Chain A
Amino acid sequence: QKEVEQNSGPLSVPEGAIASLNCTYSDRVSQSFFWYRQYSGKSPELIMSIYSNGDKEDGRFTAQLNKASQYVSLLIRDSQPSDSATYLCAVKRGNKLVFGAGTILRVKS
């Protein structure tokens, strides 16, 4: 079992819809979680971080964390073609981040 798992996709949504990206992790003691967006050939950029159970909202983005289920998700409201990218989930383990393989999101106009 991988430490951080994501569905590779691609996840296709129409413009204006809600995109839901999911991530599960295996280490029950994990406390800090991050979502990165990566455009093709570019470096990852941080979208959201979340540490507590529940929801955290930032503009069109909402991160959701459920530590009991070892599950973290990212919702993107009013999806735009510019949101088309690979989304990486990362979990803090000790002094480093462990990344999932990423989910490809395609927003169709």
Chain B
Amino acid sequence: DADVTQTPRNRITKTGKRIMLECSQTKGHDRMYWYRQDPGLGLRLIYYSFDVKDINKGEISDGYSVSRQAQAKFSLSLESAIPNQTALYFCATSDDLVAGYTFGSGTRLTVV
């Protein structure tokens, strides 16, 4: 099994719908991150968390919310999806950043 698992792998949803992307990890890392990737823009940080009581906004948090249900689980929600949220979403984990991140396999989200 993968160290960092994201579900679903692909999702098509309609404008205005609520959608949740899930991330779970077996690395035992405290730090978890959500990024989105758009062509030409690279990876941009949405939210990050260092434990279940610690949630921090990234550079593009508007329109998103997160929940850290346990050390191993970190979910990203789009309360009312819009087309410009169509992107590839990655969850990442880290111990102390000395070794960088471990990424999940990604969720390709399309909002129509």
Contact = CB atoms under 8 A, between A and B. Distances in A.
Interface size class of B (residues with CB under 8 A): 20 to 34
B105 interface: yes
B70 interface: no
Contacts of B100: 34, 36, 46, 49, 90, 97
Interface of A is mostly: strand
Nearest to A44: B103
Nearest to B108: A41
Interface of B is mostly: strand
Interface string B48-73: 10100000001000000000000000
Interface residues of A, number: 22
Interface string B69-112: 00000000000000000001010000001111101111010000
B43 A92 contact: no
Nearest to B35: A99
Contacts of A49: 98-100
B103 A45 contact: yes
Interface in A77-99: 88, 90, 92, 95-99
Given A99-B43, A100-B42, A102-B42, A42 B97 contact: no
B34 to A, nearest CB: 11
Interface of B: 31, 33, 35, 40-45, 48, 50, 58, 88, 90, 97-101, 103-106, 108
5 tightest Cβ-Cβ pairs between the two chains A and B: A101-B42, A43-B103, A99-B43, A34-B100, A99-B42
Interface of A: 8, 32, 34, 36, 41-46, 49, 88, 90, 92, 95-102
Given A95-B97, A96-B97, A97-B101, 4 more contacts: A43-B104, A44-B90, A96-B33, A96-B45
